[in-house]
Amino acid sequence: MKVILAAGGSGGHIFPSIALASELEKTGVRDIFFVSSKRGLDRKILDKSKHPAFFLSVNPMPFGFRPIRWLVFTFKFILDTVVSTFLLFKIKPDVVVGFGGYSSGAIVKCAGRLHIPVLIHEQNFLPGRANSMLSRKADRVAVSFEETAECFPDARGTVVFTGNPIRLELLSNDKREAARYLGLSPDRQTVLVMGGSQGSTSLNTVASKAACLMNERQPGEFQFIHLTGSRDFENITRSYSENSVPAKVFSFLDRIDHAYSLCDLAISRSGAAAIFELAFYSKPMILVPYPSSRNNQRSNAVYFSQKEAALHKEERDLSADGLAEDVIKILTDREKWRNMYEAATGLANPGAGQKLAAEVVKLAESRK
């Protein structure tokens, strides 16, 4: 059995595909191929995979009437279609799994035209544009939130609720080992800050200022793990150092499980991969979705907030003083912290990868 996993453009698309690859291996599937984009982060993540990876252009679909951008998009899409067709004839997959985003568009569309079974996986509560369009020709649509099934009324195939796959083999949960690995104390309350796989200058800046305020108000009580992305790494590192805040700053952290294990609360963007991994660790969250009306992170944050696993904050309303107050309130009110802990636990779906792998295998076998 040969399977192509098409995912790229962000860690939120790629990490679930890596988790699915691990689950497919457990079922005996060995011929797994990734198709992603030429973004540096995509290459960096997939370079560590033992499975072959092929890279298409960085080609997000434009919004609105922008003739030049649409012309560039169309040209790149045609080139990606040619490359995708070549890959499909070369690999001869039994099924193609698309995780949304521009990296999956061309090859999923080509697979459908060549009558190769297609499964679409939607990570977010509200589907993105690529999955909304591709789902109409997909043989199966898998969703991470049960309610998301209603967003695919025109899906030709059966919509199935699997949950969002997380990288179980990477997720250890040993707080003292995590503290040793990160060079932090296992006894201080720890705040994890994540600006998403691409980093966020605004969130990084406000969160680091909030950390400085917390350190001033209650010295020695808190420590921080901050994942900045490459752009802000030096500035945020300097800020913590100059203000004597106990913190470890990373542009990217391979062993994210150690950060999850050690932290007591996370301030994060609300991409599906991050929030479901945090839920697996039962971590209370303050979620700040990417500030765009076209971005589907907001619906994720709203959902987790309604389930009382997270505090939902819009970036435009975020201030260092307010964020510091929110963090201190959660970490010092043990009943509130416990309620959020239990709510996050209830949203975790550790069997998601196994369920999705079963659907992939079933679809591939139906073709045979």
Domains of the chain in start order, with CATH, are: 2-166+350-367 (3.40.50.2000), 169-347 (3.40.50.2000)
Is the predicted pLDDT of residue 155 greater than 70, yes or no?
Answer: yes
Q: Which residue, 156, 154, 160, is CA-closest to 138? A: 156
> For residue range 255-273, what is the model confidence (pLDDT) as tens digits?
899 999 999 999 999 999 8
Report the pLDDT averaged over residues 127-131: 86
Is the predicted pLDDT of residue 196 greater than 70, yes or no?
Answer: no
Q: Percentage of residues in the chain with pLDDT exceeding 70?
A: 97
Report the pLDDT averaged over residues 181-192: 95
pTM for the structure as a whole: 0.89
315 close to 351: Cβ distance less than 8 angstroms: no
Q: What amino acid is encoded at 327 in this protein?
A: V
Question: In the structure encoding, which two tokens stand for residue 118, read together?
Answer: 């297609």
Band the pLDDT of 26: cuts 50, 70, 90. very high
Is the predicted pLDDT of residue 199 greater than 80, yes or no?
Answer: no
d(C-alpha 304, C-alpha 290), whole Å? 15
pLDDT score, position 294 = 67
Secondary structure (DSSP) of 131-149: HHHHGGG-SEEEESSGGGG
**Residue 287 φ then ψ, to 5°:** -105, 130
d(C-alpha 68, C-alpha 74), whole Å? 10
9 close to 37: Cβ distance less than 8 angstroms: yes
| Helix segments in the chain, DSSP class H | 11-26, 40-46, 67-91, 102-113, 129-134, 175-182, 201-217, 233-242, 256-262, 272-280, 297-306, 320-332, 334-347, 352-367
Point out the least confidently predicted range of 9-18, 115-124, 224-233, 354-363.
Answer: 9-18
